Structure 1
Amino acid sequence: MMIVAALAAAALGQLTDGALLIVIFATSGALEALATARTADSVRGLLDLAPATATRLLPGGTSQPEAGGGSEQTVPTECLAVGDTLLIRPGERIGADGTVLAGTGEVDQSTITGEPLPVAKQPGDEVFAGTLNGTGALRVRVDRDPADSVIARIVALVEEAATTKAPTQLFVERIEQRYSLGMVAASLLVFAVPLALGAAASASLLRAMTFMIVASPCAVVLATMPPLLSAIANAGRHGLLVKSAVVMERLGQADALALDKTGTLTEGLPRLTELRPLPGSELTPEALLALAAAAEHPSEHPLGRALVTAARERGLTLGPALEFSSTPGTGVTALVEGHAVTVGSPARLLDEPSAVAAELEEAGCTAVAVLRDGRPVGLLGLTDRPRAGAAPAVAALAGLTTRSAELPVLLTGDNPRAAARLAAETGVPAIRAGLLPDQKVAAVRELTQTGHRVLMVGDGVNDAPALAAAHMGVAMGRSGADLTLDTADAVLVHDELGALPAALRLSRRARRLVVQNLVLAGVFITALVLWDLVGHLPLPLGVAGHEGSTVLVGLNGLRLLRDSAWQEG
C-alpha cells in the first residue's frame, strides 16, 4: 500500500507526502530489526559467563596441582559429562553444575541467585556453572550436562519468553496489511465504477488519486507516534530509558508489580548496622569495631571491606594486622596489638549457639563473631541497606499497579529472614525467597496466567528471564548486568526507583492522547473520504486536509515533551 500511495502522490505532484509514508514505515522496520539483533547478541553474550574450558581430574587424580603425572587435563566445557570430577582453583569460574566433593571455598553466585555475598561451600553443597570461586580449591562432581546447566537454562528462558511477545506484533501487522489492501481495492473501485458508468477517465483517475491521498493513514500513524515518542524523550530526561513506543504504551498497562531484592530495592553492598560487645569483654562498641576491622583489613571479602569502611567512617584508628590468614567459610585470623583476633561465622567459631547471633539473624542481618585470644568478645550485624526512596517508590507503584492485597511481591534468591526484613522496611506485602532464575520466571508466569500484566524490576543476570517473561521488564542501569539491560524493556539510568511512578502516569497520559489523536484522525479521514465520494473534493483541498490533520495530531502529541508533563502524569 505504501508503494502504491507514494506513486500516486508522486503522480499528483505530492512527493513529500509519499516520501513521508515510506520513511516512517522503513524506519520502524529498521528499529525492529536492530532490537532483535541486540537481544540475540546479549543472549549469546550470556554464555561467556561460563568458562570455555575446565580442569577435569582423571581417575586417581587429586585436587593438588602439584600431583602432575597426567592426573588432570584441560577440556572444553561442552565435552564434560555427568559424573566427571572437576578441579576449581581460586579465582576460576565453575564449568558445570555439580556438587562439591572435597575442599572448602567461598563462591560468588550472585549471577544465579542474586545473593550479594559470596557463599561458603563445603563437601555436599551445590555449585552452578558460571559462578566464581573466590578462595580455596574445590573438587566438584558434574551433576548436569553443560547444555542443561542453570546458566544454559537462563539463555533458553530469555529466548522463550521473548518469543511470547511476537503474537501481538503479528496482530498489528495483519491489521495494517488488511487496511492497505482495503484502501488499494477501494481506490480501484473509485476509479473503475465511475468509468464504467460513462465518466471521463481523467476525472475518475483524479477522484481515485484524491481518495488514495485522503485515505492514506499518515494521520493515523502519527496519532500514535508523537505522544509516545514525546513521552519517551521526557522520561529519558528524567532518568528512564524506554526502548520503544510499544514499550511506553505497555508501561501504563501494568497492574501487578514484582521486585527483585539485592541491587534493586537495596544498594547491593553490606553495611554495618549492629555492634554488640559481649558481657565481660570490657570493650566499647567502637573498640569492638576497631578490633574486627583491623583483623579484616588485609581481607578482600565483602564483609571485611564493609567493616573497614564502617571503621573509617567513624574515624577509628586501626592497628596493624600481623600473621593474617583466611579460612574459607570460617573467617580470618590476625595478630592485632598482641592479641590473636578471629572474625567470622558464629556457626563455625562459637562452641555453643549464641542468643545474640540468633537475634541478629532473625532480624535479617548477617551475624559476624569476634574472638580475642580464643574468647568471644562481641558480635556484629551487617545488612544490605535499602535504597534511598525505595519505600515511597514502592508505595506509589503499588497504588498505580496493584489490584490485590497480596501485591506487590518480592522475588529474591536471598534467605527468607533478610527478605522479610527488607519487605517490612519498604512496604512490600508478599515475599518469595530462595528462588533460582527459573523459579522467578514461574512466579511471574503465575501472575500473568491469572490475568495480571506484570511489571518486573530487577538488576542481575538471574533476573533477565523474569524480566523477559513479564509484560514489562525494567532494569537498574548502574548495577544492572549487560544481559539484563538488553533484555529489559526500560532502564533506570540512575537506579532511582522514584522515576517509575512518574513514568507510569506519563505512559497512561500518552495512551489517552493516542486515543484522542486516533479519534481526531478518524474524523478527518472519514469526512474527507465522504466528501470525495459523495461530492467533489478538490485535490489541493484534499491534500491540505490530509496534511492539516497530520500536523494537528502531531502537535497534540508533542505536548508531552514539556517538563510539566512529567510531574502531571
Structure 2
Amino acid sequence: MPSTPSTPPTTSAPHATSAPDTTSASARPTAPTGVPRRRTRLLALPEARWAALALLGFLAALPLDLLGAPAWTWGPLYALVYAAGGWEPGLAGLRALRERTLDVDLLMVVAALGAAAIGQFLDGALLIVIFATSGALEAVATARTADSVRALLDLAPAHATRLLPDGTEEAVPVERLAVGDLLLVRPGERIGADGRVAEGASDVDQASVTGEPLPVAKEPGDEVFAGTLNGTGALRVRVGRDPSDSVIARIVAMVQEAAETKAPTQLFIEKVEQRYSVGMVVATLALFAVPLALGAALEPTLLRAMTFMIVASPCAVVLATMPPLLSAMANAGRHGVLVKSAVAMERLAQVDAVALDKTGTLTEGAPLVADVRPLPGSGLDGDGLLALAGAAELASEHPLGRAVVEAARERGLPLPPATGFAATPGSGVVARVAGAEVAVGSPARLLGPTPRGPGSPAAVAADAVAADAVAALEADGRTAVLVTRDGRPVGVLGVTDRLRPDAARTVAALAALTGGPPSLVTGDNPRVAHRIAAEAGIADVRAGLLPQDKVAAVREREAEGRKVLVVGDGVNDAPALAAAHVGVAMGRAGSDLALETADAIVVRDELAAVPAAVALARRARRLVVQNLCIAGTLIAVLVVWDLAGHLPLPVGVAGHEGSTVLVGLNGLRLLRESAWRRALGPGR
C-alpha cells in the first residue's frame, strides 16, 4: 500500500472561532458527527436464533428433569435442544468430514447423541447448548465488525460540490470526482476527497485520520483528507487522489485485510481437537466392533462402548478451559472491561509487548491551559492575563477558546464584558475588552513576519520577548496562544492535552507484566508526543503516524516474535487494533469502528484496568492448565478402568460429572472480587 504524504501538525496551530451565524437553520449545511451505529441485532442471525431456542428449551427441561417429572414432560424439550442447537454444528462437522477432516463440532454432536442413547439426556443437552451459544456469539461479533467497517465509509460524504471552469457549482457523487477537480467545502461540511487547499483558510478537525486532539489550521497548499470536518471558513480544495484511494478508504481496506490475514484464533484445547477426536472415535468403534466380531453380545458391547464415549468425551476438558476464561471475562466486565470472547481473553494472557495511542488513550483528549505567562511591561499578572483572554474568547466555539474560558472560570476570575467579537478562521478572535482591542490566537498571525506598531525599539523588543516565550512553550510541547492588547503582545498561554491521572502507573504496570516498556504510537506532533511520553514514563515514541504507519509499527514488533497489545480509541487506530495480537479500545470516546474492531473495550475509560485485565487473563490461563491436568487425569483413570476391567455405567457417569463439576468450580474462583483486586496489584 503506498504511503500517504502528510504535513505534520504544529503545536502553534492557529485556532478559529465561530462568528455569529446568520445562515438560516434550514439552509445551514449539516454533517455527520461520527460513524453512525449500524448494529446487527443479536437475534438477526440464524445462528443466534437457533442457539436461543436451544437455550430456552434446556432451561425449560432442566427443572422438570431434576424434580423427577415424567419423561413425556421434559423429553420433547430435550429433543428440541438437540435439534435446534445440534443441526448446524452437525452439518458443519459432516461437511468437514467430507473434506477428510474430523472436527470437534461433529464429535460434540456424536457424544451428545451417545449420551442420549444411554439415557444421559441432560449431559448431551448441556454440551449442545455450550457449543451452540459459543458459535452464535462468534457469528454476532463477526457481523458487527463488518457492520462497523461499512459504516466507516459514511465518514466521507456521499456528494461534493464541484466548481466548474465557468464558476458554477454542481453537486456530484464523490465516486465521480477526478484528480484535479476543484471542490467548494463550506463551513461545517466534511471534505469529499483527499487533496490540497487551493483557496481559503479554516480549521479542520482531522482526528478521524491523524488522532490530533485539536483542529488544525489549513491555508493554501496544506493537505486535507476526505471525511475530515471543516470548521468555520470556506475552502476550495484541489482533488489530489482518487476517492477510492483516499485515507478513509485505505483504513477500511486495512481493517478488512487485517481481519482476513490475522492468524486463526483458537482456544488451547481446540488446537489438539483433531488428534483427540480421531483417537476417541477410533477407540469407541474398536471397543464396539472388535468384541462384537469375536462373538460378544450386542447390548453389553454397545453399553460398554457408550460408557467409554461418555467418560472419554471432552466435556470436562471443554469445561476445564471455559469456566476460568468466562469467569475472568465476567469479573473484568463487572469492573468496566468488556472482553468479547474467551479467545480474546486467552490471547490477552499471551501479550508481551504494548503499543499505546496518545490522544484519548494516554490523555483525556481535551485541551487544557497549562501555562499562563504574562510578558514584562504588560502590567498584568497571571490572573489578569487569563481574565483578559477569557473575556475575548467568551463567545468562542473553538476548543482552544473554550479551554481558555474554562481555565478562567476554574480560578474564579470575573470576566469583563466584551463587545465587537469577531473570529477569523485560522487566526483567532478579536474583541473589545475594557476599551482596548484584545486579540487571542495564532502567534504566527498576530506577530507576523515584521514587528507591530510604529517600529519603536520598545515595540520590537516586546515582539522579540513574545516570540521567545512562544518558542519556549513550543519546545516544551505546548500549543502556544498569543494575547495582544491594542496590537501589542501582553502574554502567552500554553495549551496542552491532559494526561490521564493513572497513565504513569499504568505504563509501569504494563512494563512489569510484559517485561519491557510500552511504545507510544500517535499521529500527533513529535514535540507533543515526546512531552506526554516523558510524563508517562515511555521512551519509545513514534509520532506523526498515519493509520498505515501504525499498522507497520505493529507488524514490525510482530516480526520480532512479539505478541502486541494495542490500546487506542479512534478511527485511525482501528487498523492497528485489527492487526494486533489483541486490540483494546477506550470506550467513552472510542469511535464505532475502534469499538467493534477491538477484542476488548475499557468501558469506563479507566486506563489502569488494562494491566489488570492482562493480569487476570494470565491467572485464568494458569487455572486452565490446572484444570486440564485434573480433567486429563480423571479421564485417563476412567478410560483405563473401562478398558482394563468393567466400569459400571453409574460410576462412569458419576466420575465424568464429578470431574466436570470439579474443574468448573475451580474456574469459578475468578468470579470473586479478590481476584480483581489481586490483578490491580498492591495498594489498589
- Tell me, yes or no, whether TM beats 0.5: yes
Structure 1 position 530 matched with structure 2 position 640: yes
Letter in 2 for 1:28: S
Choose the corresponding residue for 1:346, options 443, 451, 473.
Answer: 443
Is this contact kept in 2: 1:402–1:408, CA < 8 A? Answer: no
> Could you give the per-residue CA deviations for residues 405-449 of structure 1, whole angstroms, max 9, x where no partner exists?
xx4111111111111111111101110011111111111111111
Pair 172,101 (structure 1): closer, same or farther in 2 beyond 3 Å? farther
| Cα separation, 1, equivalents of 2:117 and 2:331 | 40
Q: Give the Å deviation of 1:171.
A: 9.6
Code of the aligned partner of 2:478: C
**Equivalent residue in structure 2 for 1:390, among 495, 503, 511:** 503
For 2:427, the equivalent position in structure 1 comes to: 330
Other-structure match for 1:209? 306
Q: Secondary structure at the residue paired with 1:168?
A: coil
> Where does residue 357 of structure 1 map in the other structure?
470
Amino acid aligned to 1:139:
R
Identity of counterpart residues, as a percentage?
73
* Aligned residue number for residue 231 of structure 1: 328
Q: Corresponding residue for 1:280? A: 377
Where 1:341 maps in the other structure, the secondary structure is strand
Rounded to whole Å, the distance in 2 between the matches of 1:361 and 1:156 is 36
**Counterpart residue type for residue 327 of structure 1:** T
Say how many residue pairs are matched. Answer: 557
Q: CA deviation at 1:60?
A: 2.9
For residues 161-310 of structure 1, what are the structure 2 equivalents within 5 Å?
A: 161-169=258-266, 175-310=272-407
Which of 493, 507, 519 is matched with 1:380 structurally?
A: 493
Equivalent of residue 558 in structure 2, options 430, 442, 448: 448
How far apart are the structure 2 equivalents of 1:31 and 1:172?
A: 19
What is the aligned partner in structure 2 of residue 120 from structure 1?
Answer: 217
Q: Contact 1:291 / 1:336 at 8 angstroms: preserved in 2?
A: yes
Give unpaired runs (5+ residues) of structure 1: 62-70
In the aligned structure 2, how far is the partner of 1:411 from the partner of 1:174? 33
Partners of 2:440 and 2:410 lie apart in 1 by: 20
Structure 2: 5+ residue stretches without partners: 1-106, 451-462, 680-684
2:571 to 440, 461, 468: 461
Aligned partner of residue 95 in structure 1, secondary structure: coil
- Matches of 1:326 and 1:44, distance apart in 2: 37
The one of 464, 467, 490 equivalent to 2:600 is 490
Q: Which of 130, 150, 153 matches 1:44?
A: 150
Corresponding residue for residue 70 of structure 2:
none
Residues of 2 paired with 1:541 and 1:467: CA distance?
Answer: 49
Q: Deviations over 1:207-237 (max 9, x none)?
A: 1111111111000100000001111111111
- SS of 1:276's partner is strand
What is the Cα deviation at residue 188 of structure 1?
1.2
- Name the residue aligned to 1:65: none
Match of residue 64 from structure 1: none
- Aligned to 2:389, what secondary structure does the other structure show? helix
List per-residue Cα deviations over 1:128-157 (Å, max 9, x = no partner): 000000011111111111111100111111
Counterpart residue number, 2:115: 9
Q: Which stretch of structure 1 is more off in the superposition, 427-436 or 342-351?
A: 342-351
Deviations 1:343-382 (A, max 9, x none): 1111111136611100000111110111111111111111
Q: Does the CA contact (< 8 Å) of 1:319 and 1:336 recur in 2?
A: yes
Counterpart amino acid of residue 53 in structure 1: H
Alignment match, 2:537: 427
Q: Distance between the aligned counterparts of 1:103 and 1:259, measured in 2?
A: 36
Match of 1:517 among 624, 627, 644: 627
SS at match of 1:167: coil
2:183 aligned with 1:73: no
| Structure 2 counterpart of 1:60, from 166, 174, 180 | 166
Cα separation, partners in 2 of 1:171 and 1:214, compared to 1, 3 Å: closer
**Structure 2: distance between partners of 1:304 and 1:204:** 84
Matched residue, 2:481: 368
Structure 2 residue 111 is matched with structure 1 residue 111: no
Shift of 1:28: 1.2
Per the normalisation by structure 2, the TM-score is 0.80
Q: Is the 8 A contact 2:349 2:618 kept in 1?
A: yes
Query: AA paired with 1:230?
Result: S
Alpha-carbon shift at residue 185 of structure 1 (Å) = 2.5
Instruction: Say if 1:420 and 1:431, in contact at 8 Å, map to a contact too.
Output: yes
Matched with 1:555 is: 665
Shift of 1:568: 2.2
> 1 CA distance for matches of 2:649 and 2:400?
76
Distance 2:234 2:414 in 1: 35
Question: Could you tell me which amino acid in structure 2 is paired with residue 106 of structure 1?
Answer: D
Which letter maps to 2:218? K
Is 1:408 the equivalent of 2:518?
Answer: yes
Q: Is the 8 A contact 1:55 1:87 kept in 2?
A: yes
Equivalence for 2:256: 159
1:368-403 Cα deviation digits (max 9, x unpaired): 111111111111111111011111111111111134
SS state of the match for residue 191, structure 2?
coil
Deviates more, 1:6-15 or 1:256-265: 6-15
Q: CA deviation at 1:456?
A: 0.8
1:165 aligned partner, one-letter code: K
What is the DSSP-based 3-state SS (H/G/I as helix, E as strand, rest coil) of the residue aligned with 2:265?
Answer: helix
Task: Name the counterpart of 2:589.
Answer: 479
- In the aligned structure 1, how far is the partner of 2:503 from the partner of 2:109? 51
SS of residue paired to 2:231: strand
Judge conservation of contact 1:257–1:402 (CA < 8 Å) in 2: no
**In structure 2, what is the Cα distance between the partners aligned to 1:11 and 1:440?**
55
Please point out which of 113, 127, 132 is paired with 1:21. 127
For residues 473-518 of structure 1, what are the alpha-carbon distances to aligned partners after superposition, in whole Å with 9 as ceiling and x for unaligned?
Answer: 1111111111111111111111111112221111111000000111
- Cα displacement (A) at 1:103: 0.6
Q: What is the CA-CA distance between 1:175 and the residue it aligns to?
A: 4.0
For residues 218 and 165 of structure 1, the distance between their equivalents in structure 2, rounded to whole angstroms, comes to 29
- Of 406, 411, 423, the residue aligned with 1:314 is 411
